Each structure stands twice: as structure tokens, then as C-alpha cells.
Amino acid sequence: MPQNDIAPQSLSRLYARPGFLLRRAHQISAAVFEDECRELALTPAQFGALTVLKAHPGLGQSSLARALGFDKVTVLRVLRGLETRGLVVRSMTPQNKRNISVALTEVGTQVLAQAQKPAEKAYKRLLAPLDQAQQAQLLELLQLLTGELEDDARAAFVRPPASREAA
């Protein structure tokens, strides 16, 4: 059984690969966020969508997808969940019937406000194993990695223009 001789080494190599570690870190990040935001039943993707829409009311679905680095199917799934809960409203734009704009409802604005403290707690909990210098280094390295390899992404990431809240 030569495969048994190879298995431990191949598993060690698998578990040390950046893709494996990034996927696992993402799973943990999502679990920590969802645990902290359990009372609000909010996922990281939903929080991201609500945050972008707060800064850019009436943003088009396609622009929202790009602002989050989501593909169209993912952003539709996230928006359907938010719309079902009454947190966002989608409507056709008068200028272009194919373009759907999205805005927070009053309830969506309230849920986003309530989510700020648990989201910050999740962020701190996720980075707690690292000291301040390591936290800064991790974020810098992740920004470098994602910035340099942006062209390889399956879904484009395009920051929306500066908003009224950026000031």
C-alpha cells in the first residue's frame, strides 16, 4: 500500500497551501461573524450589502455586486434574503428598465445600526490571536494579495465612488 506512505506528506502539503488556509480562515471568519450577529440573523455578505447601500442609496444591483466582489448570482441571492426580511427594496430605474436599483428600508437601516457593535466584536474576536503588529501585517498582506491578483478573480471588485459618508 504505497498510498499510505504518501498520504501524511500529501496532507501536510495540502494543509499548508495558501488556498486551503485562506478558505479555512474564511470559514472561521464567517462563523465568528454569524455567531456574534446571531440575534440579528445577519451573514457577512448581508452586512456588506447593507453597509454599501447605506453609503450609496439606490445603487444598481450590478454596481452593488462589483462593490462587494460578488458575481450576479450571489448578489441576487443576498438581495432576495434581505428583501424577504424587509431590509431592502429593489426597483426599476426610470432611465433604464433593465437596471434595478436597491435601497435600504427603514428597518434595514435600523438592523445595520444594531449590527455595528456585534460586527466590531466579531472583527476583534477574529484578530484576537494576533498582536497589533501581526494584525496590521495580516491586513496589509491580504490587501497586497487581493490587489495584485485582482485580475484573476471570478468576480470583479470595483470600489464605488466616494460617498457622502466618506468625509
pLDDT of residue 96: 67
**Beta bridge pairs of residue 92:** 100
All structural domains of the chain, each given as residue ranges with its CATH number in brackets, are 12-152 (1.10.10.10)
pLDDT of residue 163: 62
For residue 147, pLDDT over 90 is answered with: yes
Q: What is the DSSP letter of 39?
A: G
Cell numbers for 161: 465612488
Q: Minimal CA–CA distance to 99: which of 62, 66, 70, 151? A: 62
Minimum mean pLDDT range among 5-14, 56-65, 150-159: 5-14
Q: How far apart are CA 150 and CA 36, in angstroms?
A: 30
Q: How far apart are CA 134 and CA 130, in angstroms?
A: 5
Query: Model confidence over 17-54: pLDDT tens digits?
Result: 999 999 999 999 999 999 999 999 999 999 999 999 99
For residue 93, pLDDT over 80 is answered with: no
With vertex at residue 113, the alpha carbon angle to CA 111 and CA 116, rounded to the nearest 5 degrees, is 110
State how far the alpha carbon of 44 is from the alpha carbons of 2, 86, 91, 119, 124, in Å: 44, 18, 24, 9, 15
For residue 94, pLDDT over 80 is answered with: no
Torsions phi, psi for 91 (to 5 deg): -150, 150
Query: Model confidence over 3-22: pLDDT tens digits?
Result: 555 566 789 999 999 999 99
Percent of the chain with pLDDT strictly greater than 90: 83
For residue 165, pLDDT over 90 is answered with: no
Query: Model confidence over 115-125: pLDDT tens digits?
Result: 999 999 999 99
Instruction: Indicate yes or no: pTM above 0.95.
Output: no
